[in-house]
Amino acid sequence: MHELSLAQNLLDIVSAQCLKNGFKEIESINIRIGRASGIMPDALSFAFNAIKTDSAVANKAFLYIEEIPVTGNCKDCNNEFIVEEEYILCCPSCNGSSFVITAGRELDIVDMEVS
Ligand SMILES: [Zn+2]
């Protein structure tokens, strides 16, 4: 399961960051997941909650997930577009197929609250 290893990575990163800065406990973590990243927020959240109980610093941490829609830029008509779907096959305004995805593939840790 892809999300389980992601959750483990996330937990390792935030735990190391927390201890490095001299804090003992993580209260919450804010992350952003792009719709085109292939990550399912529910599955990630579930996996995170399952493994956090083994962590000394993050066992009470709450994971907040913000979903980022897919944003693209069409080379044919120069249109900047945002879609709610996970995949884009063509530009929504001209149906052209030369476009670049400019947002929606990310998995970013925005910030976290520690004590
Ligand atoms: Zn277009």
Distance 37 CA to ligand 1 centre (A): 22
Q: What pTM, to 2 d.p., does this model score?
A: 0.86
Q: Which CATH class is domain 2-70+104-114?
A: alpha beta
pLDDT in tens, 26-78: 999 999 999 999 999 999 999 999 999 999 999 999 999 999 999 999 999 99
pLDDT(1) > 70: no
> Domain map of the chain by residue range?
2-70+104-114
Distance 52 CA to ligand 1 centre (A): 44
Report d(CA 81, CA 88) in Å as an integer: 10
